[in-house]
Amino acid sequence: MIDQYTPLLSHLARSSRTRISNHSTMQSALAPLVGNTPLIRLTRVAAHIHPKVEVYAKAEWFNPSGSVKDRAALNIIRTALDEGLLSKDKVLLDATSGNMGIAYAMLCASLEIHVKLVMPANVNHERKVILSAYGAEMVFTDPMLGSNGAIEKANEINAKEPGRYFYANQYDNNANWLAHYQPGGTADEIWQQTHGRITYFVTGLGTSGTFIGTSRRLKELNPAITCISLQPDSALNGIEGWKYMPSAIKPRIYDETVANRLLEIQTEEAQYMTRRLAKEEGLFVSPSAGAAVAGALGVAEHLNEGVIVTVLADGGYKYVSERFW
């Protein structure tokens, strides 16, 4: 049995030693702070499941910009720098629904690289304020077109001035999923934190990078691990950051054969679980994190034993203006 508090306490102790960093190098001084997030056992919201079934959640808001996207953004930027595709003379351009943009903006601010982000105009106030604080340039698109509209606009901007930009293209960039697959990445962290006992990995699909990269590596470590992807139950939903794949511009990095199963989550179910996590577990998280837990518990309810891990993509502070609270 994994002590539910040990991962969190050991992470805090490690953070107190490692979070003093040097801003003098071209490599972002924030890079060492990305990853090594705690794995927390869920007890109260999982109290109804079989006692031999354990449900754990990866607390990704411990990353420096507050979300799992720090992992992919760092690997995309690092790879582009190594390959000479990005420098202080170029602008990093990408489409985003918010979290990836914030991760780019944070890391690029530490590298003195300008960032231009395309996003739907209805992204919430908190995200706009945070991006403005980091100095990011924002281009807003028709909210009715969602992330698809932002992607199309980013492609248009890049096509007009290709020499000016490094188009990060998170939806098609292999450095995205490799951030979770590579040695020491998300999958290896989960494997170590569960002492190799994980039997189910369950998380949502946005760019699909977290699910694809983590699942591929976990299946290499143990082919018997079941990997279950989650998506909203319709194109019109309130689970920000997730994609309804049947109507979305499918990311090139998305490979539907990686998943053993695909489950759909309702917006109301996600919001309900988000409120429960705050009140019952003391975890103030985003609706997508609530959706991930709802999906993990849905799987757990049909098991008599097992170790399930899901991902809490970010904390709730960027969603405090949402009416569902």
Per the annotation, the verdict on 21 as an active-site residue is: no
Which listed residue (65, 67, 69, 208) is catalytic? 69
- HEC readout, the chain: CCCCCHHHHHHHHHHHHHCCCCCCCCCCCCHHHCCCCCEEECCCCCCCCCCCEEEEEEEHHHCCCCECHHHHHHHHHHHHHHCCCCCCCCEEEEECCCHHHHHHHHHHHHHCCCEEEEEECCCCHHHHHHHHHCCCEEEEECHHHHHHHHHHHHHHHHHHCCCCEEECCCCCCHHHHHHHHCCCCHHHHHHHHCCCCCCEEEEECCCCHHHHHHHHHHHHHCCCCEEEEEEECCCCCCCCCCCCHHHCCCCCCCCHHHCCEEEEECHHHHHHHHHHHHHHHCCCECHHHHHHHHHHHHHHCCCCCEEEEEEECEECHHHCCCCCC
Active site residue 288: yes
Marked catalytic residue, from 215, 243, 288, 318: 288
Active site residues: 69, 288
